[in-house]
Amino acid sequence: MKDLAGKHVVLGLTGGIACYKAAELCRALVKEGATVQVVMTAAAEQFITPVTLQALSQRPVYDSQWDAREPNNMPHINLSREADAILIAPCSADFMAKLLHGRADDLLSLMCLARPLDTVPLLLAPAMNREMWAHPATRRNVAQLTADGATVFDVGCGDQACGETGDGRMLESGELLDDVIAFFQPKLLAGQHVLVTAGPTYEAIDPVRGVTNRSSGKMGFAIARAAREAGAEVTLVAGPVHLATPRGVTRVDVQSARNMLAAAVECAPAASIFVATAAVADWRPAHPAEQKIKKDGSGAAPQLSFVENPDILATLAQSPRARSGALYCVGFAAESQDLLANAQAKRRRKGVPLLVGNIGPATFGQDDNALLLVDEFGTTDMARDAKLALARKLIAEIAARMKAGIK
């Protein structure tokens, strides 16, 4: 199922060079399953043609409140009533000021004013010069529009068409797509702070070699994204992986198990939920060599001794905050066999209310997974699905357990 399947989005374009990004955004919304109705201001048509947006949306573009295609000559009513959201991207400083004062002198502003407030949310993607974005008038407008119920997305920072550099760029189409998808997700964890560990750890043998595992971090990153979509503040402690940080998530990069423990302990006091997704190395070399270990021609392998790494999940699960119920801990178990028995034993051993099991060799590096949820009442199977889909289901399970007071 595509994330925006069944959603109808009115995409409004106002005047600005960022209109070129709106073309890719329109295409991305359609690919994600949404139907898109484009409405353009006269200023927007100075930067991109309606023909382009019609081709990408597969629908006629509207640009006038006097459009004769509407039998009742009321496109501002008809178009807004059909929408699941109105997204203005780019939204210029001028158009934000117009919205603030309820002006309605073109189709797009008229439609925003006429929309049913309770059922058609207004999403704004600002785009302007850095000085315009920082101006006190714009800051006041953003604050008041937010207070009036609009959702004002962040702006990007970087090179601007005018030659200056700073805040005010419209977000890239992929970033805006993620924000729109997140907007439609139920806010099951609003007010919560979720701490997630993800990926493998790396335990050095010498300066160029180490012990690690095949975990890609994809499941943990999906959980961090899903938690953020659900309205939580999210901190992600990540081992060495090559994945982009989910939108709106604070990331802390670590290498070894001891690094990860230190970061988790430091972040835990602010968290209300801890999800230990990381595949932490159980052992590390006792005495890492200071220089690269070289072959000496004898054929003899170096002799390595190992010591056990600290248990991150158990450490946090046995902390006073976890024991008092202030920190809800969820563990992960990556097994190669006997998943149910091993997951049940690990849950009891770690002392956590919920343990999520999976078969490691079947999921490491993959985009999909299958999960087994184990708690004191029994087990729940989650059939193989995309990791993000499973992450959203897991977040819903965690939220339901917390609401019910299941410890």
For residue 78, the SS3 value is helix
Domain 8-184 classification at class level: alpha beta
Task: Tell me the C-alpha distance between 60 and 218, whole Å.
Answer: 39
- Tell me the pLDDT tens digit for each residue of 20-62: 999 999 999 999 999 999 999 999 999 999 999 999 999 999 9
* CATH entry 3.40.640.10 includes domain 193-283+305-404: no
Fold equal for 8-184 and 193-283+305-404 = yes
Beta strands in 3-111 (DSSP E): 8-13, 35-40, 85-91
Which of 312, 252, 320, 248 has its CA nearest to residue 276? 312
- Tell me the pLDDT tens digit for each residue of 81-112: 999 999 999 999 999 999 999 999 999 999 99
Annotated catalytic residues are 162
Looking at residue 407, what is its pLDDT? 52
Task: Tell me the C-alpha distance between 350 and 395, whole Å.
Answer: 20
Place of tokens 């210029």: 92
Phi, psi (deg, nearest 5) at residue 261? -60, -45
Task: Tell me the C-alpha distance between 367 and 188, whole Å.
Answer: 24
Neighbours of 282 (CB within 10 A): 14
User: Cα–chain-centroid distance for residue 95?
Assistant: 28
Confidence at 361, pLDDT banded by 50, 70, 90: confident
- What's the predicted TM-score (pTM) here? 0.93
Domain boundaries, the chain: 8-184, 193-283+305-404
Neighbours of 293 (CB within 10 A): 15
